[in-house]
Amino acid sequence: MPYVTVLDMQPIDPPTGGGRLRLLGLYHNLNKDLPTTYIGTYDWPGPGYRHHKLSPTLEEIDIPLSKEHFELHEKWKAKVGGKTIIDVAFPQMAYLSPNYVKFAIKATKEADIVIFSHPWIYPLVKDYIDWKNQLVVYDSHNCEGLLRYELLNDGKFGTELVRKVIELEYELCHRADLILTCSHEDRIMFNDLYNIAFKKMIVIPNGVFVTRIQPTQKDVREKIKQKLGLRGKVAIFLGSQYQPNIEAALFICDYLALAISNVTFLICGGVSNAIDYKYLQKKGIKNVKLTGFITEEEKLYYLQASDIAINPMFSGSGTNIKMFEFMAAGLPTVTTEIGARGIFKEINAFKVCSKENFADAILEILNDHEMWEKYSYRARCLVTEKYSWERISPFLGKVLLRNLEGKRKGRPYFSIIVPTYERHHHLSNLIKKLTEQTFKDFEVIIVDQSKSYWKVPNIAKDLSVYYYHTDIKGAVKARNIGLALALGDVIAFTDDDCEPYPDWLENAYKYFKEKDIIGIEGLIKSDNISDNFRCVCNERFEGIGFMTANLFTLREMANRVNGFDETFDNPHFREDTDFAWRLLNYGKIPYARDVVVYHPPHPRNIKRESLEERLKFFEKDALLAKKHPELFIVLFKREAHYIKTPGYWENFLRGCLKYNCAWILERLRLHGINWEKYVQK
């Protein structure tokens, strides 16, 4: 049974503030067979040694720092204008707390997987790591080099500390086997700043315990308001005493509270300690309530009392856990672009606006009950599916075990990713075809969204098959899950009903010997039996259509473009075209006629294959046109669905409204396509 050690220099319990919440959320349930030990300490003097269980699989050991450690910190703190630097300076000061270092070294030696949550402990234990057999992971809460530059760069002592942070983070990033980032934006930042390969970075977002924070009924909300002495509408902001949060709190006081006098603004958490009540009185601000530090139970109470949440962040990096708490509570949320960084924005689960429009956005939602309900519902749905710790932690456990296996046993050349939904009979046939491949260095990742589990057939015993079952629906999401689990350098996509030729992988392998080739579009063959069958092929559409029935790419590039855009899900269509078009910005994707997959035609009397169902997919053409207007015109004309497919325009126009891109119709007109003529027909 493998063991995990997580190292940092703060306690987890109580889980207050974004860092501690991430620690508890990520590691509370990696796997029932993946026991995890957290080694931490207290960044304040007083508490003693503590060893306790936080969950059935997560234990926390906190070793207090020495008196001398805190004394030196106070001296260094004075050199940077009173800013807390006990974390940044930890590598230089840890010699004063030898007991902590002793525990950290011991836990590092005993682990199969060593995770550095922040980079501060890495230099203390790096000489005790078995680099050949232990999986080393950097869980980056932020890009610390950039963040500390923003907070500490003063041209003096602070700049010296920043330089050491950058050197430390650079070394850890390059030596680690895997880097966890909170967002794709952070992944780009690490690549730009430290030249880290995208294939060793995986986005593991922040989250929230959705079973703990839930929406509140209106009558309950009003009763809680009365108990708290609150009147009218209430807007909540949460935050620790962290400079970007302080900026947001001052914006609330100096602008929002004055602009919207009939709304009470709750500023909760350590950030409220940065605001002086005398300051509010001097400005005549009566509608701001400062709570000071709050417990988790008090936080729930304040969330239940609120009508709307706000997150006016103007600086910082990483993602804001408070956003997920707001959404879990079913609160419509108004945020800046920075406040929503790293969070899926395409289903309008929250309102993103500028500093200048912030007050108007709050009033618009509060004064429109239907809009309030939509934001509340979408927010809860999004956070439950993508940002719940209950999902994220066990998935991370699978990712860690996969990468540990890859380090110890070696990684395959190809990872074949296959999403499947209620077609187990087709899946078994695909597996049979994969056993016949002449090129053997590959793994198969099956992401099954069916109601029941698939029994891997005996014929697959000689293959490396990784089976992942999920209740999350959508082929686009399934492919992204597969990408996160993949170990191969090259990703091969095909469908569960396809039949690759025996030399499919062998022929594909030859193309990747050329440096400028980042992917392959293979030939998809089918039989055009009659109009009563749906035929899938890509002849005559090569170099423009791209289909995941037969598509290859380097994993490095798949991660660089952040995988598939999940806005193209439900119904899933054109996600593969969009994916390939974004990849083309980084290299060539030739059409390979010798890399062949057969796609059987399916009878139209099956509901999911019926013309009525498939026509609905064309709403995604509008989204594709919105993202790639020039390339779309080429595809649009070559496929000519607008001429030959009855029902096309109805669904395309619906997509134009849904994705707010009616302007594409005028662009079509400029290219000689009079859409009104076809619609009138």
Lookup: tokens for 35: 């026991």
SS3 assignment, position 447: strand
Q: Give Cα 2 distance to the centre of its chain.
A: 26
> Closest Cα to residue 302, out of 321, 280, 325, 319?
325
Residue 450 makes CB contacts below 8 A (sequence gap 6+) with: 420, 421, 422, 423, 424, 469
Specify the pLDDT at position 611: 62
For the chain, residues with pLDDT lower than 70 are 346, 529-530, 532-533, 603-611, 680-681
Determine the Cα angle at 333 with ends 336 and 335, to 5°. Answer: 5
Specify the pLDDT at position 216: 96
Specify the pLDDT at position 609: 64
Could you give the CA distance from residue 204 to residue 580 in angstroms, rounded to a whole number? 24
Burial code (b: 16+ CB inside 10 Å, e: under 16) for 347-362 equals eebbbbbeeeebbebb
Instruction: Dihedral sign for Cα 148, 13, 269, 251, please.
Output: positive
Residue 38's DSSP bridge partners are: 6, 60
Specify the pLDDT at position 603: 67
Specify the pLDDT at position 257: 95
Specify the pLDDT at position 615: 85
* Interval 656-673: pLDDT, tens: 999 999 999 999 988 888
Could you give the CA distance from residue 293 to residue 271 in angstroms, rounded to a whole number? 8
Specify the pLDDT at position 49: 97
SS3 assignment, position 80: coil
User: What would the DSSP string read from start to end of 30-64?
Assistant: S-TT--EEEEE--SSS----EEEEEETTEEEEE-P
